[in-house]
A and B are shown apart, each in its own frame.
Chain A
C-alpha cells in the first residue's frame, strides 16, 4: 500500500528555517520521484521541487536558494528544508509521488500534508 506522510512543525518563527520530512512506504525512492508542493490557505497549489529517483534534485526558481531537498533511501525519507521564512510561506506542505512513465508527468499519490504557520 503506497503511503506518504509529512511530519514537521506547526509553527515556525519569522526568518527561521523550516524542516519537513516525508516518510514513504509501499515503494522505493530509487524507483519513483518525490516532489514537494505547497498550498497557502484558500489559495492554489505551487510546485516547489523534486527529488529524482537517481538522487538528483530540481527546484522552482521562485524559491531561489532558500530551498533544499535531500533524502535518506535507507529510511525511505525525503527532506525539505527552507530558510528565511516569511509570513507568506504559511501553507500546507505536501509531498507527492511521481511515477516513472515516459512522457507523462503527474503525481499519483500525495501525503496528507502538514500545515505550517510562520509567526512573527
Chain B
C-alpha cells in the first residue's frame, strides 16, 4: 500500500497568516492527490484535486502544488472559517490511502 505521511499533525495560525501542510507519498503518485477540509462532526469537503486544481466554489486562498512524492496545500491568509482538520488522499493506486490529518487552529 502507498503510505501517505502528512505534516504537521497540528498547526496554530494567526488571522491573515499563510500556512502550508505537506503530504509525502511512499512512491510516485503522479499528482493523483486531493486535499480535504473536515470540520468537527461533518463530512469532508473537497478543496483541491489533481494536486493543484481548485474545486468549484473553494476560495482562491487555497492552493495545491507538488509532484512525484511531495505535495503541499497552502492557505494564503488564514480566515476564521479555515479552522478544522485537513487531510490528503492519494488516488493513484489501490487501496486509496489518506494522510493522517492536520488540525489547524487559530492562534
Contacts and interface: CB of A to CB of B under 8 A. Distances in A.
A13 to B, nearest CB: 25
Interface in B74-107: 87, 89, 91-92, 94-101
A58 B34 CA distance: 20
A113 B43 contact: yes
A108 B92 contact: no
A61 interface: yes
Given A105-B32, A106-B91, A112-B42, A47 B50 contact: no
Interface in A30-57: 35, 44-47
B13 interface: no
A103 interface: yes
Given A62-B95, A94-B43, A106 B100 contact: no
B87 A44 contact: yes
A47 B55 contact: no
Chain B, interface SS category: loop
Given A45-B87, A94-B43, A111-B43, A106 B98 contact: no
B43 A112 contact: yes
A27 interface: no
A58 B93 CA distance: 12
Interface string B6-34: 00000000000000000000000010101
A60 B95 CA distance: 6
A108 B95 contact: no
B6 to A, nearest CB: 9
Interface of B: 30, 32, 34, 42-46, 49-50, 55, 87, 89, 91-92, 94-101
20 contacts: A35-B96, A44-B98, A44-B101, A45-B89, A45-B98, A46-B98, A47-B98, A61-B95, A62-B95, A94-B44, A103-B50, A104-B50, A105-B32, A106-B49, A106-B50, A106-B91, A109-B46, A110-B45, A112-B42, A112-B43
Interface of A: 35, 44-47, 58, 60-62, 94, 96, 103-113
